[in-house]
Structure formats: structure tokens, C-alpha cells
Amino acid sequence: MAKEIAMLHDVARCSACRACMVACKQWHDLPADMSTPFEGQYQSHKELTPTTWNLIQMNERVDSDGKFHWDFFKRQCMHCSDPACAKGCPEEAIEKLDNGAVVINQDKCVSCGYCAHNCPFDVPKVNAETNKSTKCDLCFDRIAEGMEPACSKTCTADAIRFGTKEEMLKRAEQRVAILKQEGHQDANVYNPQGVGGIHMLYVLPEKPSVYDLPENPQTPNSIDLWKDVVRPLGKIAGAGAIVGVLGMAAFKKLANREKGEK
Amino acid sequence: MIVNKKYIKRHKMGFVYFHWINAVSFFMLLLTALPLYADSFRFLYDTFGAATLQYAHRVFAVIFILNPIIGLVTAHDGIRRLVKEVVSFGRDDIVFNQKFPAELIGKEPEGIPPQSFYNGGEKMNILLQAVLWALLVISGAVLWFGDGVVSPVIRTWMIPLHSICAGFGFAAAIGHIYLAVGVNPDSCHGMLDGTVKASYAVKHHGKWVDELVAQSSLTEDEVKKAVEADEPVEDASIQARPV
């Protein structure tokens, strides 16, 4: 088994230069989203799009002490250990690789959008033009060749780091300790266990909710219900109705024949 | 009103269209989504293309949703009747539902009370289909338009809900088709030109015929004549009970 890898975004170090966004587009050959309107802010896109898999979200915030903050958060696929997208995919088009990267197989994808509905982080976006679902693939192809993802490679502020999950967790803990010393009492490592832990770790100076992150995201039970109960039950109900009807028709025919003989 | 000597007017044509548009759009919705439900129907995606079927699913969804809404105008009387019948589910309907199943396999159970415009089973089917319609529309709309509007925590539950409604809807539809085509072929006539044989009406919807007579839409004499007009048929199973 390949070593479990992880990427780490140190929110406190990010300078929002957005070189990672450019590098991502470059490596994946993704076109610019020309329809992004200018809304008087530095924020580029509002949300991830089918052609923007990595987005620096910029949020202006005033804390309880009246102090102004400008938060930069790298939004992308979390690469969950228990990925809802892969679990709920009816075509088995999404695979979790041994190293932890969760990757959509474009050839198998039929664009049903179930991954988008199931994802607790609302990450996958369906491309209406190509009719395929899209999201960050953690540059799994680069990793396979011994390289690091395009975004972490290009990060000038050392805010994005890449390595084994063990290393990254250790580094994250160290950074959180430093942040706490600097006065960020709520500093934490974002690695929610409800989705089995993630391979896109964050060092957050504040609570997750400050960055619009769910505090306790879960891989939804609805997927198990759908896969293990609803799909089989629906098939049994449908097939049962057909078989039942054919059986009754046969019975009826027999009964009529008996009547005729009498 | 007696039509062609032996038929009674049962449904207005607006209601007949309402029924068939609902039926066709339901089955098209089912077919266009079946590959997601069962891998054995994957060939549908391979044949027509996933994008085409997903687009078609949305087109039929719009028809499926608008049909009953437009029907409030074009099939007004029929829909009012549906509602009225369902809310009047009573003792006779329960007795009917207990005794009727024997008829499914060709027996002729005794002591079935006369039924109104719809019998107990039909009333249950109407209610079931109405509830499933609402659930399918709500869950489908959330899945279609919910991205960025509805929380993923809720959206994820719409998938099993949508699926199970489709499954039950299909099973109920199969039963409905068997009852119409296999058990009571005369009832189908009502969904073709809106009339049914008087003999069928008297046998299966006695209370409704009484209601028509009471309203003076028909006279007992007319009913009797219409039933007699149907007497010489060869199939003994659809002969009328004496009035």
C-alpha cells in the first residue's frame, strides 16, 4: 500500500496571491471562467466551478474585539477517508486511491450529480458542457510520478505543504501550538473524523465555522440507506409486482378454464 | 347519459388526457433514470447517451409537474371527483378491500358492497399516487435546483426518497395496469373515450349509478335497457348482475 499522503493549508500563512489557483488551472488545462463578475472585492470566483477546482476565498471579518481580519481560505476537495461522493456514486466512477486521493474517473462518470448532492462540503461541480462531474484530484498523476501537487509546488508563502499524512499532521500540530502562543486560543487542525479524516488538512487560527466549514461533517447515512435498502427494495417491489401480476394472471386463466369445464 | 345504447358517460375527455399524460410521463421518467437505479439498465445510457436521457428526464419532469396543475382547469371535474372520493373512504371501502383480492385470481367473492365512483382499491391507489407525486416533485426539485440553495445535509436524503417513491410508484402502476387490462378490461374503455358499459358500471360502481339516477342524469329504465343491450355477449364473466 502506498503511503498515505496529505496536503496542508496553513490559513495563517496564506497571503492570497492565488498562484495556486493559476497553477491548478495550468496543470489541469482548465480555461478561465469568463463570466465571473467584478463585485468590488478582491474575491475572484464566489464558489468552485466545473473549471475552478481550487479557490482562495477571501473573507473580511471583524472579531468580537472589533479587530479587523482578512481570512484567506483554500477551498477545494477535502479528499475524505470515507468519501461520500465515491460511496454514493451509482456508476462507481469515483475511486479513493491507496494514498488517499479521491479521483473521478471521467470515462465512467455519467454526470448524475449524486456526488454533488452527497458531498458534506458541497465540492463536486457538474460541468454541463462536458456532462461530467469535476473536482480537485490532488494531482494524483503528478504524485504517481513522484512530484507534488501543482498548487503546493507553486506556493510562495509555504502556506500549502505536501507530504505524508503523518508528517503533515505533525507539522499542523506544531503550527497550531505556535498560533496558540501568538494568542489564537481557538487555533486548531481541521481533520473531521465524521468523514473518516481528510487528506486536505487545514491549520485554522479560529474555529472552523469562521471559515464556513461544518464543525462536524458526516458521511451521510442516506447513502447506505439508498445503496443497501432503497435500491434492492425498489427492485424487489418492481420485479415482485411484475411476477405477482403474471402469477395472478395465470391463476385467473386456470380458474376460468375450470369454470368453462364445469 | 347513455351513449351508443349500452355505455354510460364516466369521464370527461380532459380527465382522460390528464390520466394518459401522467401515465406516459411517469414511465418516461422511470425509463430515463433507470440506469442510475439498476446497473442492468446501463445499456440505456450507452445507447442514447447519459446527457440525452438526463435532459429528457427534466423535460418529462416538467410535463409531470405541470399536468395536474393544468388539469385543475382542463380536468377540473375529474380531479374534484378524485379528491371527493378519497376523503370519503369508509366502511364499504374497507369491506371491498378485504373481499376483492380473490377476484384477482379469477374467483368471484360474495358480499362485496356496491361501490361508489371509485372503489376502495382505486381510492387507495389515487391517494398513494398523489402522495408519491408530491414527494417525487419535492425531492426532484431539490436535486435539480438545490445546489448552493439547500444544505447538502438535506439534499443527500432526497436521493433515497426520490428512488423509493419511483420504486413504489412503479409497483403500484403495474398492479393498476393488471387490474385494468387483466381483471376488468371494461374499465379501460373509460380511459379511452370516457364511457363505460352500463353493465360494468352497475356491477362495479353500483352506488355511482344510483347517484346518477338520483340526480336524474339517468333513469332506471335507461340503465336497465343499456344493461340488457349488452346481454348477448359471449364472455360470461362480464355479464351484468340483475338490477
pLDDT at A77: 98
Answer yes or no: are the C-beta atoms of B115 and B210 closer than 8 Å: no
Tell me: is residue A89 an annotated ligand-binding position. yes
Sign of CA dihedral B106, B111, B114, B118: negative
Judgement on whether residues A168 and A239 belong to the same structural domain of the protein: no
SS3 state at B72: helix
Sort out which chain A residues have CB atoms less than 8 A from B54's CB and list them. 110-112, 131
Contact A238 B170 (CB under 8 A): yes
pLDDT at B239: 53
B149-164 confidence digits (pLDDT tens): 999 899 999 999 999 9
Judgement on whether residues A126 and A205 belong to the same structural domain of the protein: yes
Q: Looking at residue A194, which CATH number applies to its domain?
A: 3.30.70.20
Would you tell me which residues 56-95 of chain A have a C-beta closer than 8 angstroms to some C-beta of chain B? 84, 88, 90
Tell me which chain A residue has its CA closest to the CA of residue B54. Answer: A112
Residue A8 φ then ψ, to 5°:
-130, 125
Q: How far is A168 from chain B (nearest CA, A)?
A: 28
What amino acid is encoded at A88 in this protein? G
Percent of chain A with pLDDT over 70: 98
Assessment of whether the complete model's pTM goes beyond 0.80:
yes
Best residue of B45, B46, B174 to probe chain A, by most A CBs closer than 10 Å: B174
Q: How far is A37 from chain B (nearest CA, A)?
A: 18
What amino acid is encoded at B114 in this protein? P
Judgement on whether residues A38 and A112 belong to the same structural domain of the protein: yes
Structural domain span for residue A64: 5-211
Best residue of B39, B54, B58, B105 to probe chain A, by most A CBs closer than 10 Å: B105
Residue A180 φ then ψ, to 5°:
-65, -40
Judgement on whether residues A138 and A232 belong to the same structural domain of the protein: no
Structural domain span for residue B88: 2-238
Predicted ipTM?
A: 0.86
Judgement on whether residues A136 and A255 belong to the same structural domain of the protein: no
Judgement on whether residues A82 and A181 belong to the same structural domain of the protein: yes
Residue B112 or A219, more confident = A219
Mean pLDDT of B196-221: 86
CB pairs A-B closer than 8 Å: 124
Tell me which chain B residue has its CA closest to the CA of residue A47. Answer: B148
Of the partner residues B105, B153, B171, the one whose CB lies closest to the CB of residue A238? B171
Cell readout for B130 is 398523489
pLDDT at B232: 59
Sign of CA dihedral B187, B189, B195, B198: negative
Contact A231 B37 (CB under 8 A): yes
**Structural domains counted in chain A:** 2
pLDDT at A234: 87
* Residue A241 scores a pLDDT above 80: yes
Which of A170, A192, A211 delimits the end of a domain? Answer: A211
Q: How far is A86 from chain B (nearest CA, A)?
A: 13
Judgement on whether residues A122 and A248 belong to the same structural domain of the protein: no
A57-67 confidence digits (pLDDT tens): 999 999 888 99
Pairwise CA distance, residues A51 & A56, whole Å:
14
Contact B148 A47 (CB under 8 A): yes
* Residue A259 scores a pLDDT above 80: no
**Structural domains counted in chain B:** 1
Sign of CA dihedral B31, B34, B39, B44: positive
Residue B243 falls inside a structural domain: no
* Residue B40 scores a pLDDT above 80: yes
Question: How are beta strands A55-62 and A68-75 bridged, if at all?
Answer: antiparallel
* Residue B147 scores a pLDDT above 70: yes
Judgement on whether residues A230 and A152 belong to the same structural domain of the protein: no
Sort out which chain B residues have CB atoms less than 8 A from A90's CB and list them. 35-37, 39
* Residue A5 scores a pLDDT above 60: yes
Q: Looking at residue B28, which CATH number applies to its domain?
A: 1.20.950.20
Residue found by looking up cell 359471449 in the block = B234
Question: How are beta strands A55-62 and B2-3 bridged, if at all?
Answer: unpaired
Judgement on whether residues A48 and A75 belong to the same structural domain of the protein: yes
Judgement on whether residues A120 and A29 belong to the same structural domain of the protein: yes
* Residue B115 scores a pLDDT above 80: yes
Tell me: is residue A223 an annotated ligand-binding position. no
Cell readout for B85 is 372520493
Sort out which chain B residues have CB atoms less than 8 A from A240's CB and list them. 171
A132-165 confidence digits (pLDDT tens): 999 999 999 999 999 999 999 999 999 999 999 9
pLDDT at B184: 84
Residue B197 φ then ψ, to 5°:
-60, 140
* Residue A1 scores a pLDDT above 70: no
pLDDT at A19: 96
Residue B117 falls inside a structural domain: yes
Percent of chain B with pLDDT over 90: 52
* Residue B233 scores a pLDDT above 60: no
* Residue B132 scores a pLDDT above 60: yes
Judgement on whether residues A161 and A226 belong to the same structural domain of the protein: no
CA atoms within 13 A on the CB side of B17: 13
Judgement on whether residues A75 and A189 belong to the same structural domain of the protein: yes
pLDDT at B222: 84
* Residue B242 scores a pLDDT above 60: no
